[in-house]
Chain A
Amino acid sequence: MADPEIKSYAPHHESRSAAVTESRPAQAVLMAIVFAFLGIFLLLPLIIVFHEALAKGVGAYTQSLNDADTRSAIRLTLLVAAISVPLNIVFGISAAWAIAKFEFKGKAFLTTLIDLPFSVSPVISGLVYVLLFGAQGLLGGWLKAHGIVILFAVPGIVLATVFVTFPFVARELIPLMQEQGNGDEEAALSLGANGWQTFWYVTLPNVKWGLLYGVLLCNARAMGEFGAVSVVSGHIRGLTNTMPLHVEILYNEYNAVGAFAVASLLAGLALVTLVLKTLLEMRYGAEIAATRGH
């Protein structure tokens, strides 16, 4: 009975799904919502950071950056990034290589494990290290007996940062390597190359843009990490404070200019990362697209 009615509706539905059918005003409203959202939640805070940092003039800004504790926080942050980023490049490439190029049992489990730092709250990852290496922790007694200090010291901060930033490089490389497959490597081997030559001349150049991209993100996160580092650092001024921790301390001491001055450096890092990423994509867009498959 309902047959004729259904038929009369069918062409109507087809024309709707064929192309853009939203009216011009509707499009404008959608775009306005997006821009307003980004403006309020992303752009405005960024402006406020720089505004507050420079509220008492450039002199006060540079002076607060010159403070000894601030400088040691910057040095520590750079040191932590300089250790954890290379470590994660090695781990990330190894993990991506293992997952993309080999077949083995527990592969799915390993993939899930790599994502763990993304799904666990950073505070928890910090706490786990406390439970492991703390005085009452699992390895605490042994470490103490051998005079090794991990918690509330640089090694603990590095460990926590490595944990939190682990997925960035691996996650960037796994899909890329999986898509590229083993063909190029097999070709290199058949031409007589050994494993290292194959890696240096073939695999690495094939993934270099993805790798660089992963390193950029990994670095930004390593310098900006707060939660996990906060738990293991102990907040010792001039010794175990990284930049994000130092921002918090200064802010809690009502030193707004100091806090926002350090924050402006972190914000600057974010901006530089963004610009680099955009430049990479603009300059090498075609090449990046090409390495992601013809």
Chain B
Amino acid sequence: MEVRVANVRKEFDRFPALHDVSLDIKSGELIALLGPSGSGKTTLLRLIAGLERPTRGNIFFGDEDASHKSIQDRNVGFVFQHYALFRHMTVADNIGFGLKVRHGPSRPPAQEIRRRASELLDLVQLSGLEKRYPAQLSGGQRQRVALARAMAIEPKVLLLDEPFGALDAQVRRELRRWLREIHDATGHTTVFVTHDQEEALELADRVVVMSQGRIEQVGTADDIYDTPNSPFVYGFIGESSSLPVKVENGEIWLADRPIGLAAPNEPSGDGTLYFRPHDVELLDGCSGCIAGTVAASRRVAGTRRVELEIGGERQRVEIELPVDHPAAQKSRVAFRPGRWKLFPAA
């Protein structure tokens, strides 16, 4: 099922949580809504689910305008951040709930509901736990039951709110791979919210980066990481260093010297240069480069992080060096960013 969010605005007590957000989700796609807290990602998810109504704008399921349909009628599977399993029901009853509350002929007989429940339990690899209560399950198991329960109603769209937020790192990685497998096997259109960029980049077909109630960028993991389209995305996704620079006649200047980077299409004026700490080229001499004094050096796993103090303005940037690289001990290091991006001052 395709989902189209068209110019949606959402206010809570006059306070805007989303400004004019539009997003096309293709059928069968796995989409991540990524952003810091307060960016509006959960609000967008709840709007798609029908747990909130848009203040303005529309949400389409396929060609149908679903904006004013209630959550019951939208047929979405929603997995809540803290699972919201019914604690007084067994695992099997939890999974069968969505079928049990149906009316008339669409409600399957009790035996069929039980059969569906154990089928889904097989799918989420929890066979044999039908009779357990939620309190008797680990966090990861609860998450799987919540997913099975959401899938039992054969939803058009599967929505997950911080699906792995409350789990420890090991279980998280495992479930991440497993969710991808389930998605590939069932082909549900799936949207999940996360503040963990690693999770979003690894798991999703496309990532929607959000900030302050707006969508900053939509793209594949490669798009988002390699060609961030705003200072926010550059800073939010992966490691980044930035320096205030000037553009003059298509050349980038740091303070009073050119640093050997050409920006022929940029207008002259102030701007900020962004680059990745690991994507730098070390230089010996310095005719057109960034040079700085080593202010601090940290060992981070297989590499060494060096903090450089640049020029007279006491700007600090981080770059990454091989552990045994002599530059790490030198007091003065010169380098030039490999891949970089310049954002003109607003």
Which A residues form the contact surface with B (CB < 8 A)? Answer: 183-184, 186-194, 197, 201-202, 205-206, 290-291, 294
Contact = CB atoms under 8 A, between A and B. Distances in A.
Interface stretch (B36-44, B74-82, B178-186, B207-215): B74-82
Contacts of A186: 51, 71, 78, 80, 84
A192 B80 contact: no
A183 B80 contact: yes
Q: Is the interface of A mostly helix, strand, loop or mixed?
A: helix
Contacts of B51: 186, 189-190
9 interchain residue pairs of minimum CB distance? A191-B98, A183-B84, A187-B84, A190-B78, A193-B101, A205-B88, A197-B101, A192-B72, A189-B71
B135 A294 contact: yes
B76 A190 contact: yes
Contacts of B153: 191-192
A32 B324 CA distance: 74
A191 B97 contact: yes
Nearest to B72: A192
Interface in B50-93: 51, 70-72, 75-78, 80, 82, 84-88
Contacts, number: 66
Contacts of A187: 78, 80, 84-86, 149
B47 interface: no
A206 to B, nearest CB: 7
B80 A189 contact: no
Interface residues of B, number: 25
A24 B101 CA distance: 60
A290 B80 contact: no
Given A190-B49, A191-B149, A206-B88, A183 B98 contact: no
B102 interface: yes
Given A192-B72, A290-B135, A201 B101 contact: yes
Contact of A191 (B70, B101, B135): B101
A192 B101 contact: yes
Given A193-B101, A197-B101, A291 B76 contact: no
Contact of A190 (B71, B82, B86, B102): B71
Indicate the member of A184, A187, A206 with the most B CB atoms within 10 Å: A187
A39 B76 CA distance: 61
B80 A188 contact: no
Contacts of B70: 189
A192 B77 CA distance: 10
Contacts of A191: 97-98, 101, 149-150, 152-153
Contacts of A197: 101
Nearest to A103: B13
Contacts of B76: 190
B180 to A, nearest CB: 23
B82 A183 contact: yes
Contacts of A294: 87, 135
Contacts of B101: 188, 191-194, 197, 201
Contacts of A189: 51, 70-72
A192 B108 CA distance: 14
A290 B77 CA distance: 26
A120 B78 CA distance: 47
20 contacts: A186-B51, A186-B71, A186-B84, A187-B80, A187-B84, A189-B51, A189-B70, A189-B71, A190-B49, A190-B78, A190-B150, A191-B98, A191-B149, A191-B152, A193-B72, A193-B97, A201-B86, A201-B97, A202-B86, A205-B86
